[in-house]
Amino acid sequence: MTRKLSGLIALLFLTILAQANPQIDLIKNAGNAGDYPGSGKLIIFDSTFSDVQESGLTYVYTHRLYKVLTSKGALDLSTITYGYDPLSAYVEIRKVIIYRNTGEIEELDINTVMDYPAPARAIYWGASEKMIELGRLEPGDAVEVFLFRKGFTYALLAGDEDDKYIPPMRGHFYDIIEFWSRDPILEKVYQTAVPKDKLVQYDVYNGELNSSAWMKDGKMIYTFSKKDISSIPYEQGRLALSDIATKLLISSSPDWYAKSLWFYNVNEDFGSFDVTPEVKQKVDEIMKGKAKTEMDSISLLTHWVADEIRYSGIPMGEGEGYTLHKGEMTFLDRCGVCKDKAGMLVTMLRAAGFESYPAMTMAGSRIDYIPADQFNHSVTVVKLRNGKYKLLDPTWVPFLRELWSSAEQQQNYLLGVPEGADLSITPLSPPENHYFRINGKSVINKDGSLEGSLVLEAEGQSDGAIRGMFTRSMKNSWEQNVERELKRKFPLMEITKMQYENPYDYMAGPIKLEISYYIPDFALITNDEMIFTPVVVSGIFMRAMSHMYYNVDKEERAYPFRDRCSRLVELYENIKLPAKLSPVYIPEAEAFCESPAGFEGEYKLSKSGNGLMVNEKVILKKRIYEKEDWDAFRRAVSAQQKFSNEPVILKFN
DSSP per-residue string spanning 18-35? HHH-HHHHHHHHT--GGG
Cα–Cα distance measured from residue 360 to residue 345, given in angstroms and rounded to the nearest whole number: 14
Domain annotation covers residue 252 = no
CA 303 to chain CA mean position, Å: 23
Query: Which of these ranges, 43-47, 309-313, 356-360, 490-494, has the smallest mean pLDDT?
Result: 309-313
The residues, ordered by sequence, that sit 6+ positions from 127 with a Cβ below 8 Å of its Cβ are: 83, 84, 85, 86, 117, 118, 120
In the prediction, which pLDDT does 171 show?
79
Domain annotation covers residue 253 = no
Residue type, 378: S
Last residue of a domain, one of 425, 456, 480: 425
Q: pLDDT by residue (tens digit) across 287-326?
A: 998 888 999 999 999 999 999 999 998 776 555 566 788 9
**112 vs 16, higher pLDDT:** 112
Last residue of a domain, one of 367, 394, 425: 425
Q: pLDDT by residue (tens digit) across 379-405?
A: 999 999 999 999 999 999 999 999 999
Cα–Cα distance measured from residue 257 to residue 627, given in angstroms and rounded to the nearest whole number: 32
With cut-offs at 50, 70 and 90, classify the pLDDT of residue 126.
confident
- Answer yes or no: do 498 and 406 share one domain: no
Angle at which helices 277-287 and 338-351 cross, to 10°: 80
The residues, ordered by sequence, that sit 6+ positions from 212 with a Cβ below 8 Å of its Cβ are: 222, 223
In the prediction, which pLDDT does 9 show?
39
Cα–Cα distance measured from residue 107 to residue 370, given in angstroms and rounded to the nearest whole number: 41
User: Is residue 240 over pLDDT 70?
Assistant: yes
Helix (H) / strand (E) element for 241: namely helix 241-244
Last residue of a domain, one of 390, 408, 425: 425
DSSP 579: S
Cα–Cα distance measured from residue 478 to residue 499, given in angstroms and rounded to the nearest whole number: 12
- Answer yes or no: do 181 and 104 share one domain: yes
- Answer yes or no: do 550 and 607 share one domain: yes
How many domains is the chain built from? 3
- Answer yes or no: do 463 and 582 share one domain: yes
- Answer yes or no: do 239 and 343 share one domain: no
In the prediction, which pLDDT does 291 show?
86
Domain annotation covers residue 250 = no
C-alpha dist (Å) from residue 559 to 231, 380, 525, 546, 627: 14, 32, 46, 19, 5
C-alpha dist (Å) from residue 354 to 26, 264, 358, 507: 64, 16, 13, 21
C-alpha dist (Å) from residue 77 to 96, 136, 189, 219, 595: 12, 9, 21, 36, 48
**Burial grade of 474 (CB within 10 A; 0-12, 13-18, 19 or more):** exposed
Angle at which helices 338-351 and 294-308 cross, to 10°: 140
Under a CB-based contact definition with an 8 Å cutoff, are residues 498 and 518 in contact? no
CA 106 to chain CA mean position, Å: 41
With cut-offs at 50, 70 and 90, classify the pLDDT of residue 15.
very low
Which of 331, 321, 325, 381 has its CA nearest to residue 357? Answer: 381
Radius of gyration of the chain (CA): 31
Q: Is 625 helix (H, G, I), strand (E, B) or coil?
A: strand
- Answer yes or no: do 263 and 239 share one domain: no
- Answer yes or no: do 210 and 263 share one domain: no
C-alpha dist (Å) from residue 309 to 276, 331, 464, 465, 468: 17, 8, 19, 21, 18
- Answer yes or no: do 21 and 70 share one domain: yes
- Answer yes or no: do 289 and 204 share one domain: no
Residue type, 431: P
Looking at the chain, the whole-number percentage of residues with pLDDT higher than 90 is 84
- Give the residue ranges of DSSP H helices in 256-363: 256-270, 277-287, 294-308, 327-333, 338-351
Domain annotation covers residue 553 = yes
- CATH number of the domain at 418, please: 3.10.620.30
Query: Which of these ranges, 120-129, 163-172, 418-427, has the smallest mean pLDDT?
Result: 163-172
Cα–Cα distance measured from residue 511 to residue 459, given in angstroms and rounded to the nearest whole number: 7
User: Is residue 286 over pLDDT 50?
Assistant: yes
Cα–Cα distance measured from residue 500 to residue 457, given in angstroms and rounded to the nearest whole number: 10
C-alpha dist (Å) from residue 178 to 47, 241, 450, 540, 606: 12, 9, 57, 41, 61
- Answer yes or no: do 410 and 456 share one domain: no
HSE-CB at 171 with a 13 A cutoff on CA atoms is: 8
- CATH number of the domain at 143, please: 2.60.40.3140
In the prediction, which pLDDT does 250 show?
96
- Answer yes or no: do 369 and 462 share one domain: no
Which of 45, 40, 53, 11 has its CA nearest to residue 26? Answer: 45
Cα–Cα distance measured from residue 463 to residue 275, given in angstroms and rounded to the nearest whole number: 34
Residue type, 235: E
Range of the domain at 153: 3-244
Q: Residue 547's CB: how many other CB atoms inside 10 A?
A: 21
The residues, ordered by sequence, that sit 6+ positions from 543 with a Cβ below 8 Å of its Cβ are: 465, 466, 468, 469, 485
Q: pLDDT by residue (tens digit) across 159-207?
A: 445 666 767 777 788 999 999 999 999 999 999 999 999 999 999 999 9
Under a CB-based contact definition with an 8 Å cutoff, are residues 202 and 247 in contact? no
Q: Is 261 helix (H, G, I), strand (E, B) or coil?
A: helix
**Averaged pLDDT, 92-109:** 96
In the prediction, which pLDDT does 166 show?
67
Domain annotation covers residue 185 = yes
**96 vs 2, higher pLDDT:** 96
User: Is residue 1 over pLDDT 60?
Assistant: no
Task: Return mean pLDDT, the chain.
Answer: 92
- Answer yes or no: do 491 and 444 share one domain: yes
This prediction's pTM: 0.90
Query: Which of these ranges, 12-16, 274-278, 283-287, 621-625, has the smallest mean pLDDT?
Result: 12-16
Domain annotation covers residue 345 = yes
* Residues present in the chain in total: 653
User: Is residue 617 over pLDDT 60?
Assistant: yes
In the prediction, which pLDDT does 323 show?
76
Which of 310, 387, 382 has its CA nearest to residue 349? Answer: 382
Under a CB-based contact definition with an 8 Å cutoff, are residues 569 and 616 in contact? yes
In the prediction, which pLDDT does 317 show?
59
Cα–Cα distance measured from residue 433 to residue 400, given in angstroms and rounded to the nearest whole number: 13
Residue type, 300: L
Domain annotation covers residue 249 = no
**Averaged pLDDT, 96-108:** 96
User: Is residue 153 over pLDDT 60?
Assistant: no
Domain annotation covers residue 15 = yes
Q: pLDDT by residue (tens digit) across 316-326?
A: 655 556 678 89
**Burial grade of 522 (CB within 10 A; 0-12, 13-18, 19 or more):** buried
With cut-offs at 50, 70 and 90, classify the pLDDT of residue 12.
very low
Under a CB-based contact definition with an 8 Å cutoff, are residues 270 and 323 in contact? yes
- CATH number of the domain at 513, please: 2.60.120.1130
Residue type, 249: L
Cα–Cα distance measured from residue 165 to residue 89, given in angstroms and rounded to the nearest whole number: 6
